[in-house]
């Protein structure tokens, strides 16, 4: 999700976006962090000025989310292996 001119181009009310209000963000990008087909969180990048995000910025955000998702997979897999070892 991208917003380039908050609060002018949003669905709903500005109060539905408390982080944007609190941080006085005008433009932002939000990329969901998923694990096992469930959204676990969101990586939010924002600016306090009107503007679009470049393709490079979008790529950086998506790459960061991919790394976070891989860490989740690796960490939770390690915890499952430890639990199995403790059961034996």
What are 20-37's pLDDT values in tens digits? 999 999 999 999 999 888
Query: Residue 41: its pLDDT value, please?
Result: 93
Structural domains in the chain (count): 1
Structural domain boundaries enclosing 18: 2-87
Q: What is the CATH number of the domain that holds 19?
A: 3.30.450.40
Q: What is the pLDDT of residue 77?
A: 74
pLDDT in tens, 56-81: 999 999 999 999 999 988 888 766 65
Half-sphere exposure of 77 (CA within 13 A, CB side): 8
């Amino acid at each position: 999700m991208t917003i380039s001119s908050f609060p002018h181009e949003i669905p709903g009310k500005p109060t539905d976006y408390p982080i944007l209000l609190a941080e006085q963000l005008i433009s932002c990008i939000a990329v969901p962090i998923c694990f096992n087909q469930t959204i676990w969180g969101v990586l939010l990048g924002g600016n306090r000025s009107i503007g679009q995000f470049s393709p490079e910025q979008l790529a950086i955000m998506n790459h960061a989310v991919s790394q976070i998702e891989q860490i989740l997979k690796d960490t939770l897999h390690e915890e499952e292996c430890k639990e199995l070892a403790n059961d034996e």
